């Protein structure tokens, strides 16, 4: 989602996936759980045309519904016709839908079947006291089509397919570059692809390669619009390859981690047009179609809700409600346990139109939808938050995170948990907290352990792309020597470190995903603290065991703590004094023959990830030593050395 507004404020129901499930490594265990486990990490940049895993199914398959009135009228209505129709499942029609996994209970069928519990199927069950199970959700993005199309066209031109992280790592300020040196403009602008990409830049590389989940509707399908199909305002585009395998992989990863619902980000576009259809409405439909098909075969998937902007005139809203009203989706959308109403999230912005909001709740007189406001920093008003900052802001310490929860939303208490968050432009120094080797995520989970909410919301799974905003008050970290980017900055996500994404990446592998899975295991056991030493969530040490902040005349930065000790990719840094008025940093343990004050910590010898800024040592005959975190030294001094990389 694009939170630049923070700064301005103001299926294919007949699809049988048996062979595909095996190809994906899905293991059918008890309770219908699809368990591919976490993805192994990979290396390299965004892979053009990979679309994640490949699917043997045709991307031109028709939508699961024809007119929005729901295909088959119910289980058994057409059982035996060779098609797994809407309303049928492996339980009600195994002849058409295939056999259920051994012991499967088809989580999501609305019944807490034998063997299911709050831990294995929160959407169907109650706890031992008869209360609704605590729910765990995730922000989910389907907006990758423009950026993915640009990746395809870049590869077709024979040009390097680059992410922001690739460029950052190439632009070293000292030593030998790890490979070719790139500029920001080489990602899109030099290939005239900024328009095709809608200026969406991939920030890092997903472990499975670049993907998108769009495909065209068939004539007569729900929300079919001939002027939109295969088009998003920048000319014709093909269907996304491998979208079925991508969504099967995501369903397996999310449910294996312990996530039981997602909110699909539809917050940027309120009106109905080809672009909004391609990056919001159609991906929302495709997620529902594909995950519904998986459920019909006994595989677990999360529930799926919309997070739709409600600003006037809001022409998109009727199309979203049509998806909500499709009987085929009745069991797919998360509901309020007390009223049974379907949840519909909307951004709690100043442009919310009361008439649109009332129309969503009324839903054509059915009164079966419960609108839930969500943005940031409005917990006191009963609004959900999709991320919530720690009490320390963006520079953590060993204190409790204690992010603010919503105690009295329309569906109960809610708490946001994320691996990072931003308070401004995420690409500028100290305006986003960053991952901090998983410490941010662990600290935010500590709040959830101490005060478990009715609803947890994780942000996010797969944002991956972002648009740079002009006229930012500074230069993005790591681009100090690249004139092409100018004063453009990114807000929500930047590189691999300053990102809220939990999907495995090439750069960080499955570190955050594995940590998420561990923390949710602890959470589901009801621990008030992280009291399970065997769990990675309860390991890793404190913030000050790994990081050390420095604040001096040249600006604030963070490096690795002395307590971390020597290791690959880092070098010791010492505070020294040449005279009473001339202090400086040195890599030499003897401070080059001057007074040794202390070891400050360790700088990174490699640029990228969490350490993006070059630490420059400067000297002037009349002024003495200084340090700089910008592209130049202070007036009256010149560069002596680049000491390493910090954040």
**Tokens at residue 544, please?**
């000050």
**Tokens at residue 147, please?**
């950026």
**Residues 6 or more apart whose Cβ sits within 8 Å of residue 495:** 164, 165, 168, 203, 204, 427, 478, 608, 609, 612
Residue 369: what pLDDT?
98
Residue 175: what pLDDT?
87
Indicate the pTM of the whole model: 0.87
Domain ranges of the chain: 4-121+133-538, 548-646
Report the C-alpha gap between 240 and 50 in whole angstroms.
10
Residue 624: what pLDDT?
96
Residue 15: what pLDDT?
23
Q: What crossing angle do the helices spanning 243-257 and 511-524 adopt, rounded to 10°?
A: 40
Q: Which residues of the chain have pLDDT under 70?
A: 1-77, 84, 86-91, 97-105, 234-235
Report the C-alpha gap between 394 and 557 in whole angstroms.
12
Residue 561: phi, psi to the nearest 5? -75, 150
Report the C-alpha gap between 77 and 616 in whole angstroms.
73
Nearest to 29 by CA among 119, 95, 92, 120: 120
Residue 229: what pLDDT?
93
Residue 29: what pLDDT?
30
**Residues 6 or more apart whose Cβ sits within 8 Å of residue 83:** 13, 14, 96
Instruction: Report the largest interatomic distance among the alpha carbons of the chain, rounded to a whole angstrom.
Output: 91
Residue 36: phi, psi to the nearest 5? -75, -10
Residue 237: what pLDDT?
79
Report the C-alpha gap between 107 and 30 in whole angstroms.
11
Residue 94: what pLDDT?
72
Residue 97: what pLDDT?
67
Residue 93: what pLDDT?
77
């Amino acid at each position: 989602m694009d939170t630049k507004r923070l700064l301005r404020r103001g299926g294919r129901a007949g699809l049988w996936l048996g062979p595909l499930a095996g190809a994906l490594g899905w293991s059918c265990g008890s309770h219908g759980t699809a368990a591919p486990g976490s993805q192994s990490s990979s290396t390299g940049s965004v892979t053009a045309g990979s679309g994640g895993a490949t699917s043997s199914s045709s991307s031109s398959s028709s939508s699961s519904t024809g007119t929005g009135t729901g295909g088959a009228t119910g289980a058994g209505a057409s059982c035996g016709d060779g098609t797994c129709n809407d309303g049928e499942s492996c339980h009600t029609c195994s002849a058409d839908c295939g056999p259920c996994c051994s012991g499967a209970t088809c989580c999501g069928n609305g019944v807490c079947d034998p063997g299911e519990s709050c831990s294995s199927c929160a959407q169907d069950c109650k706890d031992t006291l008869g209360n609704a199970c605590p729910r765990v959700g995730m922000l989910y993005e389907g907006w990758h089509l423009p950026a993915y199309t640009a990746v395809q066209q870049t590869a077709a031109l024979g040009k390097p397919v680059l992410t922001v992280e690739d460029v950052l790592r190439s632009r070293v300020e000292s030593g030998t570059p790890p490979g070719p040196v790139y500029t920001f403009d080489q990602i899109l602008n030099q290939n005239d692809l900024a328009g095709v990409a809608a200026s969406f830049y991939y920030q890092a590389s997903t472990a499975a390669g670049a993907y998108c989940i769009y495909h065209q509707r068939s004539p007569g399908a729900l929300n079919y619009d001939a002027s939109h199909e295969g088009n998003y305002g920048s000319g014709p585009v093909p269907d996304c390859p491998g979208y079925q395998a991508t969504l099967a992989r995501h369903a397996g990863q999310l449910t294996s981690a312990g996530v039981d619902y997602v909110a699909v980000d539809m917050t940027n576009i309120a009106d109905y047009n080809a672009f909004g259809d391609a990056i919001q409405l159609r991906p929302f439909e495709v997620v529902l179609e594909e995950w519904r098909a998986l459920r019909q075969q006994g595989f677990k998937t999360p529930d799926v809700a919309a997070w739709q902007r409600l600003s006037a005139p809001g022409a998109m809203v009727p199309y979203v409600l049509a998806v909500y009203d499709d009987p085929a989706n009745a069991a797919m959308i998360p509901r309020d346990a007390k009223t049974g109403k379907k949840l519909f999230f909307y951004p709690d912005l100043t442009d919310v139109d009361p008439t649109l909001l009332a129309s969503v709740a009324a839903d054509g007189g059915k009164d079966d939808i419960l609108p839930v406001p969500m943005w940031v920093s409005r917990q006191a008003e009963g609004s959900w938050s999709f991320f919530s900052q720690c009490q320390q802001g963006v520079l953590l310490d060993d204190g409790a995170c204690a992010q603010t929860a919503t105690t009295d939303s329309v569906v109960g208490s809610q708490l946001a948990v994320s691996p990072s968050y931003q308070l401004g432009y995420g690409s500028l120094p100290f305006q986003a907290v960053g991952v901090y080797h998983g410490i941010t995520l662990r600290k935010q989970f500590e709040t959830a352990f101490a005060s478990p909410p009715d609803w947890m919301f994780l942000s996010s799974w797969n944002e991956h792309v972002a648009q740079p905003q002009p006229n930012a008050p500074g230069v993005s970290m790591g681009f100090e020597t690249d004139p092409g980017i100018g004063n453009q900055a990114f807000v929500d996500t930047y590189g691999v470190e300053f990102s809220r994404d939990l999907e495995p990446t090439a750069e960080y592998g499955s570190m955050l995903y594995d940590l998420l899975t561990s923390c949710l295991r602890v959470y589901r056991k009801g621990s008030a603290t992280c009291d399970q030493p065997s769990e990675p969530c309860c390991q890793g040490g404190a913030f000050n065991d790994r990081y050390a902040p420095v604040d001096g005349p040249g600006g604030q930065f963070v490096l690795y703590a002395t307590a971390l000790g020597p290791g690959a990719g880092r070098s010791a840094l010492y505070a020294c004094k040449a005279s009473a008025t001339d202090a400086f940093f040195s890599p030499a343990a003897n401070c080059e023959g001057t007074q040794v004050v202390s070891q400050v910590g360790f700088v990174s010898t490699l640029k990228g990830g969490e350490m993006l800024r070059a630490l420059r040592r400067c000297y002037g005959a009349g002024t003495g030593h200084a340090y700089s975190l910008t592209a130049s030294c202070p007036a009256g001094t010149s560069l002596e050395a680049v000491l390493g990389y910090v954040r």
